[in-house]
Structure 1
């Protein structure tokens, strides 16, 4: 799990470093973190490009093949000269074009599903990383409170030693 989140945390840190400090005047929310991750994720951009490419492939699959015109001239003299023109018009039989269009349509659907799955993965990974950061911030806050509490306890023990109600050995505990 940690190895899977490492690239996401690195990307999250990079996004945080790139955003101006004024943008962080309020705390980062989970929704804002997910929005940033969705906009900045290169895998999502690649998946979006794949969807666009599949849309182009669908358009291409529905087009008819171009006819071919071929001209051939043989012989140099006017009595021997032969000119041949050939026109090739491909005619698709057996539903080949419809099958090609349907295959391209299915490829487009697969690309769209892959894009949505990748979006869901980015959302889930970002939420997990966000909650890890929130938990780490809470642990840090609690550790700071413990340090402050220990400092106050040390100060109170020092005052009791000065007053003579506590042994100096107890102060070092």
Structure 2
């Protein structure tokens, strides 16, 4: 019988594009359970690589790790997502997340509408810092405020004793 292929954390990180730190975090969160070698090193198998790839895909789609956990517990992450039918848990989760996003988008549209009523005419492009009325030539803005050059006509404001 062939021994299953095992990978160390760095090999899994290279294969999946997920940092070793994130892999350890996934383990802490119960999303991965690697075996341990006699020397204590983590040993990942191909199923772990599939799960990490699926977790990454779901996170890239906007789901949080807590959203991913039920899909993992129901075995929905044990095969590549693009090659397997959707699990009911995964569909419910996606629909719930979409509803939340739709609510946020509606709230932002409402907020934008209220703001647009207060500023009905969009003016010209915002002025660049060089156009700032209080700036002397050669001065620059620091965090939105004019900063005077040390050689400006106002001189240095430090007291000398």
TM-score, structure 1 normalization? 0.25
The structure with the greater share of residues assigned to helix is 1
TM-score, structure 2 normalization? 0.27
